[in-house]
Chains A and B, each alone.
Chain A
Amino acid sequence: MDDMYRDYILDHYKNPRNFGELEGATHTYHDSNPLCGDEMTMQLKIDDGHVDDVHFTGKGCAISQASASILTEEVKGKTLEEVKAIDRDHVLANLGIPISPARIKCALLGLKALKGAAWGLTAWPGEEVKT
């Protein structure tokens, strides 16, 4: 049994939950990891301060896609404040596999996009596009 590429990780990778465009999204954030070329968009539909629905689209490695997929399952029904409070340790614990330092950005890309959406950011502070 592989310690990192466990069956549920590969299942989330091959059959991502809540994947695709979300109609009526109120919050959208796109992020990428230039190191691997991963792309990730998180969309939230917030109704009365709660996550009515959440979808993501993206392409990338098994770790980034599975992490995002697991995250979307978790946040449905949560309040916006609860979503804003999710931290990296929680995401890594939920992922349940050892993540090497080189892959940490993969594991957290979904969270980063989710937070960007929840906070209504157009860009993460310090990551504004420079011309």
Chain B
Amino acid sequence: MAVTVKTPAVKTEALDVARIRADFPILAQTVRGKPLVYLDNAATSQKPRQVIDAMSRVFEEHNANIHRGVYEFSERTTAAFEEARAKVARFINAPSEREVIFVRNATEALNLVAYAWGRDNIKRGDRIVTTVLEHHSDFVPWQQLATEVGAEIAVVDIDDNGRLRRDQLSAELRKGAKLLAITHTSNGLGTVNPVKEIAAEARAAGATVLVDVAQAVPHTPVDVQDLGADFVAFSGHKMLAPPGSGGLWGRAEILEKMRPFLYGGDMISRVTVKLTEWNELPWKFEAGTSSYVDAIALGAAVDYLSDVGVAKIHAHELSLVAYLLPRLQEIPGVTVYGPKDLESRVGVVSFNIEGIHPHDVATIFDREGVCVRAGHHCNQPLMTRLGVPATTRASMYLYNTTDDMDALVRAVHAAKKVFGI
């Protein structure tokens, strides 16, 4: 199939990939004697020295629990934690740091909304509109909420190029919706949805708009004010930070009306044996000792991404997709799923090799040093829609090179050779 390769919309100077790679110690590792070709960035990203050092610094220099001690180390750690919040707020252009809640990951952020907002606002007969592109973390919480309260859930389809059916989405919103839960960027196909336009339409239809930006924030500039959403959720570990860091952004006027999600220490302002008053935003939603070292490291990751420039990272990924797609598609038996061009996408390429199960593909790739994800990508409704049990997914990031793409193509040939195809 011919590939349409358009020039990326954002014209930027190229990344200094060699310099970036030097910041990531793990990229010097070998797998079975072969250089590491890490192409599973949609699952989790690798970490630069700057992030690893930020974590070590806390433990080595001033570790103490936050928001509690009145001694210097506690104050320093608290300051670093709150400074990280300010960095994250600036990174997504949140109007206020009070609206940025630290959570473990996007899944926790989405569940926070499903419990603390959903249970009070979605009633029997209400409609939740979502899409077949959602990661399970932005689908199962709404499915379970709908089942629990007797609400209806509408799942908007995609077209054969992996693009959201806008006509169907508009029709569902016109029928009325209390909530639109939509992914900004598909983890399975790499499709970027026109979320700004969709959010405006959904809000006009009276829906609260929640956007899963877990695959967007690491790869494309995300501005929550420009997006026009009510909530956004993301994970730190997909954007150079450690697992255990993540964020929920929500409009203050909504967050203030919500009940807490988890109860315990730090989220209270006053407790008597009869009643408890909640702490103010954002701490109302941060019960117990936060993963403060992870959050501080997320601040360092945001610094790193800001220094490199997220728009540049996106352009770099698109150049890798432009390099890979024609080389992959000219191999007999290879089927690529999702967008075949460079419009509104990120560096995620899902494919299958005819006659070889993705798990066998990934096992053989592993011997070539190529790490990819094989499976349903926590996207079972999407796999069903595509009519496949699983796919092989290569997902790129700022440190990947055209050499990595060549290694991937060689690995496809190696798999075909093993299977005699």
Contact = CB atoms under 8 A, between A and B. Distances in A.
The bracket for how many chain A residues form the interface is 10 to 19
Contact of B390 (A2, A4, A36): A36
A106 B389 CA distance: 14
B283 to A, nearest CB: 36
A74 to B, nearest CB: 23
A40 interface: no
B269 interface: no
A44 B259 CA distance: 56
A24 interface: no
A59 B389 contact: yes
Given A5-B364, A37-B389, A61 B359 contact: yes
A37 B360 contact: no
Given A5-B364, A34-B380, A38-B389, A103 B359 contact: yes
A35 B420 contact: no
Interface string B324-365: 000000000000000000000000000000001111100110
B375 A36 contact: yes
A62 B357 CA distance: 7
Contact of B360 (A5, A34, A100): A5
Interface string B373-384: 011100010010
A60 interface: yes
Nearest to B376: A37
A5 B419 contact: yes
Interface in A95-113: 100, 103, 106
B18 interface: no
Contacts of B419: 5, 10, 62
A66 to B, nearest CB: 10
Given A5-B364, A61-B359, A103-B363, A37 B390 contact: yes
Nearest to A65: B357
B418 interface: yes
Nearest to B359: A61
A61 B383 CA distance: 16
Contacts of A36: 357-359, 374-375, 389-390
Contacts of B418: 2, 5, 10
A95 to B, nearest CB: 14
Contacts of A63: 359-360
B150 to A, nearest CB: 14
Contacts of A34: 376, 380
A53 to B, nearest CB: 27
Nearest to A62: B360
Contacts of B388: 37
Interface in B100-153: none
Interface in A71-130: 100, 103, 106
B366 to A, nearest CB: 9
In order of increasing CB-CB distance, the 7 nearest A-B pairs are A37-B389, A61-B357, A61-B359, A37-B390, A5-B418, A61-B360, A62-B360
Interface of A: 2, 4-5, 10, 34-39, 59-63, 100, 103, 106
13 contacts: A5-B418, A10-B419, A34-B376, A35-B376, A36-B375, A37-B376, A37-B388, A61-B357, A62-B356, A62-B419, A63-B360, A100-B363, A103-B363
